[in-house]
Structure 1
């Protein structure tokens, strides 16, 4: 899949240059991560999981998420 520089940067990506195929490995974008303490942090999914968090999905930002609070 190929996208324009504007499409890439508007979704939080880092443009890799003309003609570079956008595979999932290159296009990992940090998104909302609900952490065990109830806070939200924008992380790559693998980082989120290593912190004990739950990734909230591609292109989801913390401003749009209500994370469950501990003990609730």
Structure 2
């Protein structure tokens, strides 16, 4: 299963962010409130279910997150 979440917001400089996008306490917009834990938690939950999350972003154009999950991500769920 694949879930795509997209916005047309401020976006961020993805080449500059590189692999730090999902790091704990990583923030991209100093003028917005937050602690920088949201994307870290999302990735942790997605990966705990056997999934993967990717991101594409461009300043002034918005951001797109793609979450991919296996059909049965948890071995404890009957097939």
* Range class of TM-score, shorter chain: under 0.3
The structure in which a higher percent of residues are strand is: 2
By relative contact order (CA 8 Å, sep 6+), the higher-ranking structure is 2
- Under a length normalisation based on structure 1, what TM-score does the superposition of the two structures give? 0.27
